[in-house]
Structures are given as C-alpha cells and as structure tokens.
Structure 1
C-alpha cells in the first residue's frame, strides 16, 4: 500500500453475521451467500471463504466472469449466476460447474446450438419468476408453458425456482404479500407441469430476517452478511458492519476568514480555520454526493468542505492536527461513529451502494484470517479441471 487510504474488512464479523442469521432458520433451510460485485466491495474470494466457514450451502454472483474468478481461486461451493448468461457461453458454465438463471424458452432454443453432447453433461438451472419487481423473469403462464418442454430435457436439472421481492425493506408489507401470493401460484405451475424442482426460494436478506415463513427451501443472504439491514424493522437481531474506511491527513493549512477553498470557490471560510487534506476522492468511490458529510478525526466529527476532488478532499478540522493523523470515513473513533446508514441516508440510497462504489484504488486489509486457521489455508488451493463435475 503506497498511500494512506484503506478499507479494513473484518472477516470475523461476516462469519458471525452469517452464524446469527443461520440460527434464525430451520435446520432444513439452506443458506445462499451472495458475493456478487466483489463481495459487495469487501472482496469476493475472502467473503466466499468466510461464508463457507460459516456454513453457507451455496454462493451467488451476478455474472459469469465473477463465478469463474471464484472457481479459479479454489472456491468449490455451488454457485448460482443471478443474471442470464449468453447462450454461447453455456459450455463454459458447465465446465466450471456453475448454475444458471434462466428466464425464457428463447434462451434455451439458442443455447441448444452451442451445448455439446446434450445428454452427457448436465446443465443446472434456476428458473427466475417475475412476481412484481419487473426486472427479469417469467411473468405469465404462457411464458411458463413455453419453457416447460426445455426444462424436461434429460440433460437439464432444475435446481431452483425463485423470485425477488421489491419492498422487503419497507414497513408496509402490502406489495410484498401480493408478490408472495403470486409466487405461490407460480409454484403451482411447476407442480402441475411435473417439473422436479430441488429448491424454491424467494427471500433475500430483509425478507429472510423479517418473515421466517418465507424461508422455504433456501434464503439468499447478501446485504445482511456484511452488516447492512433495516435495523428499524429488525430489532431482534444485532449484525455488525464488516467494513470500515480510513485515511490520514497529508497536509494541514490555515485558511483565513474570507478565503476560498476548492473548485468553483464552493466554500468560503467564515472565520480563521484549520483545513486538512485527505487522499481520497471520487475516483476512489467517494463521490461528490458525499459533500457536506462528516468524518472522524481524534474522536471528533469534522465536516467535509469544498468540492470533493478526483483524488483528494478537504475537511474543516476541530483544531490543529498533525499531518499523518488518522481519519475515519466509515467506522468508529472513541465514542463517535460514522455509519453506512447515515451516509446512505445522506445520498438517498442504500449502504451497499457505498461499499460497492469503493474502487480498486482503495486497498483492502483483512482481519480474521488468523482466527480461521488451517481451514482458511486449505481453501486457498486453486480450482483445477479435475475437480469439475461434468
């Protein structure tokens, strides 16, 4: 690390969060840990290994390249790709023993051109149903009837049948209840079509924690494993954020009353002030939407002033501080804390937008590998072709 800006990832918190969540589930319910988007910005390989150590049964990612990366790093848990892949990549998915999300008969028809040895290598799929989120998935009975013949093929294994809720993090459950009822109806379609389905799942983090009756055969835990969840609606659980963000002052200067600071003269000192410069900016994922937020220095809150730059930002210090003084942008110092929830509310978004926005320029440092011991070391062995199930 050649600059003083880094994110610290506590892998113990990830494992503990998953263990706490696991204890709320019935023994027969499987847990799918979602490690897409580089583990929500926490590191995909590290969070995948932590999830497995915590007892996860499955992993999920968004894209094929994310799944292949995990396989090449020695991750062997079953992996579901949540976004449909291109039909011509089907052989690659089979070679790496990956499960695919499917949403249409048209995909299967095109895929058949590329899938070799149709009845030798099995293709495992999860059928995505659109119950009201409106993103991807089968919405009508007609669409389902079109895909059924493809699902009955001897080389197709329907490992899952699932949907995703649009409002699981909102207090009003009216729309969620409507989606759940639609999904129950759609589950009936699979039964009357004599399609054998290994797992039915509809609950992501918020739904799984709030509504245990929706756990079904499996739950998909993404945001909650990193400590992101609607605390006001789930007061019976205490999950810990796994990521904190830190930097150091690289320069401290005196700004005199009336002087301007930063691009476009956006800030003007109302009195003589001490200003500190910190090496993080919007190219690191700390966007200009973070203007007017605060950070911690020597246990005190200090406001960001002026426009956030590409590589640096400025803060009004509570008093003179030495260059090199630790600054915390997310996390605790003494009795003060800057939380993801606070920052997400400021930008009108969710905590995971902040963590996934942190770019590769921000070094990740991990704590908790030592506690995992030999089990962690064992899982660093690379994935090889001999371990692929064909």
Structure 2
C-alpha cells in the first residue's frame, strides 16, 4: 500500500449479515444477494463469494458488464440482471447463463426481429412490474396482456415476476401497502394467464426484515448484507458494517486565530488551532458534501474543515497530533466511532451512497486471520509512523 489511505473490508460480516437475514425468513424462501455497483463498493467478487458462503441462492447486478465480470471471476451462482439489456446482447447473456429482466412487448418484438429463434436454447427472464416506484416495469393490465404471448413462447423460461417498493424504509407504510396490493393483483393476473413462474419477489432489505409476509418465494438483499438499514428504524436482527475507511495524517500545523484553510478561504480558524492534512479527497469518493463531517484521530473526534480538495482534506484536531497518526473516517477508534448512519444524515443521503462513491484509487484491505492483527477496524488506532508536528 503506497499511500496510507485504505478501505478495510471484512467479508465475513457480509456472510454474517446474510445469515442473520435468512434466519428471519419463512421456511423455503430463497435469498438473492445484490452485488451490483462493485458489491456496493465492497468488491463484487468478494461480496459474491461471501454471499455464496452464506448460502445465497441467487445474485443480482444492475448491468450486463457487472454480470460478465462475475462470470469471468469464476462465479457460478444464478445471476439476475436488474436493468433490461439490449436485444442484440441476448446471445452474449445466454452464453454466460445469465437471467434477464424484461418489461414490455416491444423488447420481445425487437428480439424476434433480430433472432426469430434462439437455436434450441431457452432464454431465462424475470418480468418487472412497476407498482408505484415509477422507474422501470410494465404498469397496466393491457401492457401485461401484450407481454403474455411473448412469454408463452417455448424458448422463453419465465423464472421470476417482481416489483420494487419505493418507501420500504419509511415509518409510514401506507404507500408500501398500496404497492403490495397492486402487486398481488398483478400476480393473480399472471397466474390466470397460464404463465408458469417459479419465483415471485417484491421485498428488498427493509421490506424483507420489516414484513416477513412479503417474502413470497424470494427476497432481494442488498443494503442489509453490507450492514445498512434505514436510520429511522431499528433492524430486527443485528447488522454489522463490513467496511471501514482510514487514512493517516501527512502534516500537522499550528494555525493562528483568523487564518484561512482550504480553497476559497472556506474555513477561518476560530482560535489558535491544530490543523492536520490527510491524503484523501473527492477523487477517492470523499465528496465536498463531507465538509464538517466528523473523523477520529487518537480515539477522539475531529472535524473536516475547509473545502475537501481532489487529493487531500484538512481536519481541526482535538489535540496536538503527529504525522502518521491514523485517521478513521468510517469505523471505530477506542470508545468512539463514526457510523454510516451519522454520515448519511450529514449528506442527507443513504449509507450505500457513501460506499459506492469510493473510487478505485483507494486500496482495499480484506480482513483475514493473517491481517487481523495489523488492520482490525475495532482496534484503537493504527500508527504506521510518527513525526513531530510542525508549528507555523
């Protein structure tokens, strides 16, 4: 690791979270682990392997290229691509044994125009219904009726029928209940049409954990497998974050009251203060919205001051520190911790928005028995080297 800035990831926590979720599900319900967006920033292959070890039945990704990367990495679990692909990409998807999302008859018309037959193969699909999220999926009975003849073709295998909730993480459940009723109506319509469907699914992480009755045949677990849950709610099982983020102080200086720090003079020292600089910035995914967010140094809270630049950020330190002191941006030092919920509230976003923003410039350190002594995110702090601070 050439730059002392790294994300530390424990895949065992991903496995533990999935096992905890599975323990809440009715018997026979299958579990689809969502590993899109590079495993929510944790590493797609590593997250997929952790899911396999936890007994996941399926994986899900957003795009075809994500599925192809998993296959190239040796992943053999069934993979559902949640975003429809182009009909001219179907041959490639079938060669890699991938399951596709379909939403309308027009897609099938274009597929048949290009490939009237599938050369004796079967295309495995999940049909997506839009019950109120307003993103993708068919919406009306007429759209469903137009889909039925295409789905009934002998070379089409309808493996699933699903929807996604818009408000599963909110305390008010009225809209979720409306979506659930609409999905029940569409399931009835589907069954009456004679289309054989193996898996009906509608519940993501929050819905699956809050409302086991919505588990149906399968649940899709994304956020919860990485330890994330809506901040306003309490999960019914313990969920452990699998990622922590660390850097080190590269310079420490004493500044006088009234001196400025950072671009655009965005921060002016309120008193004589210790200021530290750490080599992490918005090019690593730590965006300028994190200005004012807490970090930990020497087991105490510090705060990011001034505008976060591309490669560095500055901290108002709680005490005189030294270059080489560990900076924890997410995780624990001693009795203090900075949580995903706290940071998500700071940016008015979601925990997964933070981890998926982390870029490839950041080194990823995966915890295992050999590394634990050196990089355990529950350790007080890690100090690779120390120098005396500079007084300016």
> TM-score, normalised on structure 2?
0.93
In the TM superposition, what is the alpha-carbon distance from 1:115 to its structure 2 partner?
A: 3.5
SS in 2 for 1:275: strand
Task: Identify if the C-alpha distance between structure 1 residues 245 and 114 changes in structure 2 by more than 3 Å, giving closer, same or farther.
Answer: same
Distance 2:154 2:290 in 1: 53
Q: Counterpart in 2 of 1:265?
A: 265
SS in 2 for 1:207: helix
In the TM superposition, what is the alpha-carbon distance from 1:25 to its structure 2 partner?
A: 1.1
Q: Counterpart in 2 of 1:286?
A: 286
Q: Counterpart in 2 of 1:179?
A: 179
In the TM superposition, what is the alpha-carbon distance from 1:114 to its structure 2 partner?
A: 3.4
Q: Counterpart in 2 of 1:197?
A: 197
SS in 1 for 2:114: coil
CA contact (8 A) 1:91 1:115 kept: no
Q: Counterpart in 1 of 2:383?
A: none
Give per-residue Cα distances to partners, 1:175-230, cap 9 Å, x unaligned. Answer: 00000000000001111110000100000000000000000000000000000012
Q: Counterpart in 1 of 2:153?
A: 153
CA contact (8 A) 1:160 1:197 kept: yes
In the TM superposition, what is the alpha-carbon distance from 1:231 to its structure 2 partner?
A: 5.5
Q: Counterpart in 1 of 2:347?
A: 347
Q: Counterpart in 2 of 1:252?
A: 252
Give per-residue Cα distances to partners, 1:34-88, cap 9 Å, x unaligned. Answer: 0000000000000000000000000000000000000000000000000000110
In the TM superposition, what is the alpha-carbon distance from 1:119 to its structure 2 partner?
A: 5.1
In the TM superposition, what is the alpha-carbon distance from 1:149 to its structure 2 partner?
A: 0.5
SS in 1 for 2:323: coil
Q: Counterpart in 2 of 1:126?
A: 126
**Does 2:300 match 1:300?**
yes
CA contact (8 A) 1:171 1:233 kept: yes
CA contact (8 A) 1:11 1:369 kept: no
Distance 1:369 1:38 in 2: 24
What is the 5 A alignment of 1:199-278? 199-230=199-230, 232-278=232-278
Give per-residue Cα distances to partners, 1:279-316, cap 9 Å, x unaligned. Answer: 01111110110001110000000011111101100001
Distance 1:95 1:27 in 2: 33
**Does 2:36 match 1:36?**
yes
Distance 1:176 1:115 in 2: 39
> TM-score, normalised on structure 1?
0.93
Distance 2:138 2:370 in 1: 45
In the TM superposition, what is the alpha-carbon distance from 1:319 to its structure 2 partner?
A: 1.4
Moved more, 1-10 or 204-213: 1-10
Cα RMSD over matched residues? 1.3
Distance 1:305 1:231 in 2: 25
Distance 1:58 1:263 in 2: 47
Q: Counterpart in 2 of 1:107?
A: 107
Q: Counterpart in 2 of 1:135?
A: 135
Distance 1:228 1:272 in 2: 39
CA contact (8 A) 1:121 1:155 kept: yes
SS in 2 for 1:270: coil
> Any unmatched runs of 5+ in structure 2?
372-392
Distance 2:243 2:369 in 1: 15
Distance 1:111 1:209 in 2: 38
Q: Counterpart in 2 of 1:13?
A: 13
Task: Identify if the C-alpha distance between structure 1 residues 57 and 199 changes in structure 2 by more than 3 Å, giving closer, same or farther.
Answer: same
Distance 1:90 1:182 in 2: 30
SS in 2 for 1:112: helix
What is the 5 A alignment of 1:324-343? 324-343=324-343
| Higher normalized contact order (CA 8 Å, seq sep 6+, divided by chain length) | 1
SS in 2 for 1:170: coil
> Any unmatched runs of 5+ in structure 1?
372-390
Distance 2:319 2:212 in 1: 50
Task: Identify if the C-alpha distance between structure 1 residues 102 and 369 changes in structure 2 by more than 3 Å, giving closer, same or farther.
Answer: farther
CA contact (8 A) 1:128 1:162 kept: yes
SS in 2 for 1:158: strand
